[in-house]
Chain A
Amino acid sequence: MSELRKAKMNRIDQAFIDKKKDLLNVYFTAGYPNLNDTLEIAKGIEKGGADLIEIGIPFSDPVADGPTIQESSTKALASGMTLKLLFEQLKDLRKDVTLPVLLMGYINPVMQYGFEAFCQKCQEVGVDGLILPDLPMYEYEEMYKAVLEKYGLYNVFLITPQTSEERIRKIDELSKGFIYMVSSASTTGAKSGISEEQIEYFERVKAMNLKNKLLIGFGISNHETFSKACSYADGAIIGSAFIKLVTVDASSSNIQQYIQSVKNP
């Protein structure tokens, strides 16, 4: 019975049960630095000891992203990356990867693929959750929530230092898995380090006792920033710093070494 329940549980929930704190989520852009690196990089992240994997769907106009992730998207698209190809690359995901996998992407490519077809495919290849930063809450509730639920997918929302308490409560109601706590008013990769002002914000949100887990993202790049973020949340997300790393060397050994250095230097 407990085995059965375990098998049915979303891997994101399972990750937070297996490991109570300091979870590391690593973001990378699909099809970067080389078109067919996607699955190998995911495997490297798992081997390195991360706890969640977030795969970015490249888009031509990623407004929430800073230069590092923008460039990785532009390069991936120039190499011929498409959403169709991504699902092809992830066909055997679950042969090798046991960690929860989230797809992060802008809504337009998903709409063109067909939202339901997209969700169905996510379930088929073993994706556990979605981060669609430009999907508004209202539209999510009206049109998309039921579809996600039908395919067992979790939708992760973002909050920022400017998000009001009332809105955070609403987001907490709608979220599943975890809430993505954007560390500062910025695009991805814009700032590094953690300021007093940010700590105030982290503490304020922590004190709200939300029902969802919290992962802090944006500006996390090494052990110092990771462990600092973890003292205010359940874990943290690394994106731009990881993209910079694979730009130089995308080998599994380099990825593993980096992830280990972030977790325990």
Chain B
Amino acid sequence: MSDVQSKYLVDQRGYFGKFGGAYIPEMLYPNVEELKSQYLEIMNSHAFRTDFVKLLKDYVGRPTPLYHASRLSEVVGAKVYLKREDLCHTGAHKVNNTIGQILMAQALGKKRIIAETGAGQHGVATATVCALMGLECTVYMGEIDMARQKPNVERMKILGAEVRPATSGSKTLKDATNEAMRHWINNPKDTHYIIGSVVGPHPYPDMVARFQSVISEEIKWQLEEKEGKEDPDYVFACVGGGSNAAGAFYHYVDKENVKLVAIEASGLGNDSGKSAATTALGKEGVLHGSRSLLMQTEDGQVVEPYSISAGLDYPGIGPFHAHLFDSGRAMFVGATDEEAMNAGVELSKLEGIIPAVESAHALAALHKVDFKPTDIVVVNLSGRGDKDLETYIKWGKY
């Protein structure tokens, strides 16, 4: 968490440059307004900070290591560090946010939690913190995703959550998000919506980025310890909605000497009609309450994206990233299914770490940049590959 002021971060009106805002129907206004009027004060309170830091340490297992991957470095031709978010409890960075938001929900006096999930990682992280706090948890998940990600559905149920299928529209992540928003409209008083990425109406993109900013906060002092300086030359992170990237970039946004590289899923290629690379294929638009970049038809209907990785399979990106793209502050690179899977297998063989397929996209991009041998590159390894075993098996090339 942090008090960074920057032209790249949110402004008084809830915008990142021209992106963001709160494009919500009046039925959601009181819920969002309640959060907006209190989130900063709550986050900055001593009680909240103490609980947040304590849980991140004792429950999540932070700080996560910053690991110098020497064999990978040799192959890449630069000094590569991996920020090991894969070692977080529940296996990905998602839990940093859900810990923050469950404390927020408690501070707001909420009794019930709802969430959306695509691959199930955010759903599991939400079900986990609800179990921890003894709060009732309902997770919306697209009917198609429920079939694709059965083990995570069962994990959520074991943790005591109710998983409700989203059967509208295309029956995937964006529809699960719609259903969660509708649930919130119908239950405005006692329910908090734990959104899973830096998307949604203001203040969500800002709040989630602040919770995830612990990632770059740690990178700074860890790199200082190892290299005698806080700043790497590059930070790499994959972008679905953009929460792990937001966390990894956060404390570096104003340090123009640090190059920020955001990796999107190009699926079968950006020309194939099967991609999730929003900055390459999207246009300005409004979805789930914020103005950002969005994959859509000429008529303004939201397009169903495709990626081998369910966590990157979202038709938009958060407004923070839209602004980083638009302003040229971050470089956006695509990685295809094939490039990502190869990079995932490569890391497994070289370092003994099987990464989440999402994170493998970030690793794939290491092969797309011309580094100097002295360059220091931090890759945010957002999650571990346990959940993706079936995807690796189906891929087969290892």
A74 to B175 alpha-carbon distance, docked (Å): 12
Q: Are the CB atoms of A185 and B188 closer together than 8 Å?
A: yes
The secondary-structure label for the interface of chain B is: mixed
The distance in angstroms between the C-alpha atoms of A84 and B287, with both chains bound, is: 21
Closest to A70 in B: B168
- Residue interface bits B288-325, CB-to-A below 8 A is 1, else 0: 11000010101111100000000000000000000000
For residue B67, CB closer than 8 A to chain A, the reply is: no
* Cβ–Cβ contact B169 & A134, under 8 A: no
B93 interface contact, C-beta 8 A: no
Rounded to whole angstroms, the CA-CA distance of A107 and B290 in the bound complex is 11
Q: Are A112 and B289 in contact, with the CB atoms below 8 A?
A: no
Of the stretches A5-13, A35-43, A159-167, A196-204, the one at the interface is: A159-167
Question: In whole angstroms, how far apart are the Cα atoms of A83 and B300 in the complex?
Answer: 9
| Shortest Cβ gap from A200 to chain B (Å) | 16
Judged by a CB distance under 8 angstroms, whether A146 is at the interface is no
Instruction: Using C-beta atoms within 8 Å of the partner chain, give the interface range for chain A.
Output: 35 or more
- The reply on B228 being an interface residue by CB < 8 A is no
Which of B26, B170, B298 has most A Cβ within 10 Å? Answer: B26
A32 interface contact, C-beta 8 A: no
Residues of the B chain whose Cβ atoms lie less than 8 Å from the Cβ of A111: 284-286, 300
Contact yes or no, A134 B13, CB < 8 A: no
Name A112's contact: one of B25, B29, B299 (CB within 8 Å): B299
The answer to whether A63 and B300 touch across the interface, beta carbons within 8 angstroms, is no
CB pair A61 B287 closer than 8 Å = yes
> Which residues of A are found within 8 Å of B178, using beta-carbon distances?
61-63
Cross-chain contact A112 with B296 (CB below 8 angstroms) = yes
Residue of B nearest to A81 (CB): B299
Contact pick for B302, options A61, A136, A138, A163, CB 8 Å: A61
Minimal Cβ-Cβ distance residue in A for B181: A63
Contact pick for A74, options B25, B168, B174, B284, CB 8 Å = B168
- Chain B contacts of A74 at CB under 8 A? 168-169
Q: Return chain B residues, CB-CB under 8 Å to A62.
A: 178
Tell me if B348 counts as interface (CB < 8 A to partner A): no
Separation of A190 and B178 alpha carbons in the complex (Å): 15
Q: Which residue of B21, B170, B185 contacts A136 across the interface (Cβ within 8 Å)? A: B21
Minimal beta-carbon separation of B318 from chain A (angstroms): 16
| Chain A CB within 8 A of B30 CB | yes
Check A186 against B186 for contact (C-beta < 8 Å).
Answer: yes
Q: Are A107 and B188 in contact (CB under 8 A)?
A: no
Q: Is the CB of B26 within 8 A of A159?
A: yes
Residue contact A133 to B30, C-beta cutoff 8 Å: no
Interface string of A139-151 (1 = CB under 8 A from B): 1000000000000
In the complex, residue of chain B having the shortest beta-carbon distance to the beta carbon of A65: B182
A contact residues around B25 at 8 Å (CB): 63-64, 133-134, 158
Per-residue 0/1 for A105-137: is the Cβ within 8 Å of any B Cβ (1 yes, 0 no)? 011111111000000000000000000011110
Contacting pair B285 A108 (CB below 8 A): yes
B27 within 8 A of A: yes
- Are A108's CB and B300's CB within 8 A? yes
Closest-CB distance, A131 to chain B (whole angstroms): 10
Given A59-B301, A187-B186, A107–B23 Cβ distance below 8 Å? yes
Flag if B30 contacts A107 (CB, 8 Å): no
Residue of B nearest to A58 (CB): B301
* B185 & A60 in contact (Cβ 8 Å cutoff): no
Is A152 in contact with chain B by the CB < 8 A criterion?
A: no
A187 touching B27 in the complex, CB below 8 Å, given contacts A108-B287, A139-B21: yes
Query: A265 CB to closest chain B CB, in angstroms?
Result: 30
- Residues of chain B within 8 A of A186, CB atoms compared: 27, 185-186
Verify if A227 is at the interface (C-beta below 8 Å from B). no
Which residues of chain B have C-beta atoms less than 8 A from A135's C-beta? Answer: 23
- A164 neighbours in B (Cβ, 8 Å): 30
- For residue B183, give the distance in angstroms from its CB to the closest CB of chain A: 9
Within 8 A of A (CB), among B25-62: 25-30
**Which 4 pairs of residues, A with B, have the shortest CB-CB distance?**
A109-B300, A112-B300, A158-B26, A162-B30
15 A-B pairs within 8 Å (CB atoms) are namely A59-B301, A60-B169, A61-B287, A63-B25, A63-B288, A64-B182, A65-B182, A109-B299, A112-B298, A133-B26, A135-B23, A136-B21, A138-B21, A158-B25, A186-B185
Point out residues on B near A: beta carbons under 8 Å. Answer: 13, 21-30, 168-170, 174-175, 178, 181-182, 185-188, 283-289, 294, 296, 298-302
Please give 9 more A-B residue pairs, beta carbons under 8 A apart, in addition to A112-B285, A112-B298, A112-B300. Answer: A60-B301, A63-B185, A71-B168, A109-B299, A162-B27, A182-B27, A185-B187, A187-B27, A190-B186
